[in-house]
Amino acid sequence: MSDVRAHPTTTVTADAAGTWRLGDLTVNRIGLGAMRLTGSAAFHLGAPSDRQRSITVLRRAVELGVDHIDTAAFYFSSLRSANELINRALPPYPDGLVIATKVWPGRHPSGEWWWATPQQLRGQVEENLRQLGRDHLDLVNLRVPAKRGSESIAEHFGALADLRAAGLVRQLGVSNVTPAQLAEAQAIAPVVCVQNPYGLGAPAADREFLRSCGAQGVAFVPFFAIAGAGREAGADRAGGGAEEEAVLAVARAHGATPAQVRLAWTLHQGPHVLAIPGTGDPEHLAANVAAGALRLTAQEMAALSSLAPDGG
């Protein structure tokens, strides 16, 4: 049994969780989600985050071996933009750092949402390039709107494939998709990752999709792995009841936090599963990275997995 606080003087780095490949790119399985760098809630225009603290988080993440940062041009709050914080903190960008972004959704400066047409995706890609100060994007995920359900995404994904062929994008992924939409995209161009919501309590269909991605060599990148049902509101709104009690029991056994247990459970779902926990707090960042060294027992995994509505 591993206790993540057994050696408080030892710094755990992101390579403790192992690596996976995103096409021709290899990353550590613990990454960083950039949404929370802009403020406590990135999708409203309230009080901005502390700029220097967010820059410190980004630089410390790289020091800890994080080489996969997930961002988007629509991650902004009052006075803060995740892409611009990254561009301020990290250039010259280290070799091997993979910055993933996503397109299709957009936000006006007022915060109002809009959804791009296939023809507008190039503009969204170019906006990410400008904000990040790069001449190409390592990885672009096509973020499918929930209202699309199981509808075709071929026209939008085909537009992204054209941008990849033009050299503006290196690798492509899909987000918030069904298995049929993944297959549709794969018929157009290589897909290196699926970025879908996933965490404790995931239903059978989601678990099967995760396994299917692994069988195909496609990375599965869960979002809201810590927050769960709390979603953008954060981990404080996650779980509750029997779920929280089970997580706390495992956390106590390992000298870990509930968030670390949730991250470890996520990583235990398969070697192709990557984690991109978001935080604007340097201490939370270090704890998230340390979760990559947490090894859960088979009994603990079974107990946590049984929290799914169908019993896991």
Rounded Cα–Cα distance for residues 224 and 143 (Å): 15
Strand partners, 172: 140
Q: Where are the alpha helices (DSSP H) in the chain?
A: 51-63, 82-89, 121-132, 154-165, 179-186, 204-215, 241-254, 258-267, 282-290, 298-305
What does DSSP say about strands 169-175 and 193-195: parallel, antiparallel, or unpaired?
A: parallel
One-letter amino acid for residue 71 of the chain: T
Neighbours of 37 (CB within 10 A): 30
One-letter amino acid for residue 124 of the chain: Q
The answer to whether 136 touches 99, Cβ cutoff 8 Å, is no
Catalytic residue among 20, 74, 75, 224: 75
Rounded Cα–Cα distance for residues 218 and 204 (Å): 19
Q: Is 75 annotated as catalytic?
A: yes
The two three-digit tokens of residue 115, written as one number: 């959804």
Question: Which of 217, 206, 211 is CA-nearest to residue 177?
Answer: 206
Question: Which of 15, 39, 19 is CA-nearest to residue 27?
Answer: 19
Full 3-state SS string of 44-72: CCCCCCCHHHHHHHHHHHHHCCCCEEECC
The two three-digit tokens of residue 46, written as one number: 């309230």
The answer to whether 144 touches 176, Cβ cutoff 8 Å, is yes
Q: How far lies 283's CA from each of 56, 224, 252, 288, in Å? A: 11, 19, 19, 9
Q: Which residues are catalytic?
A: 75
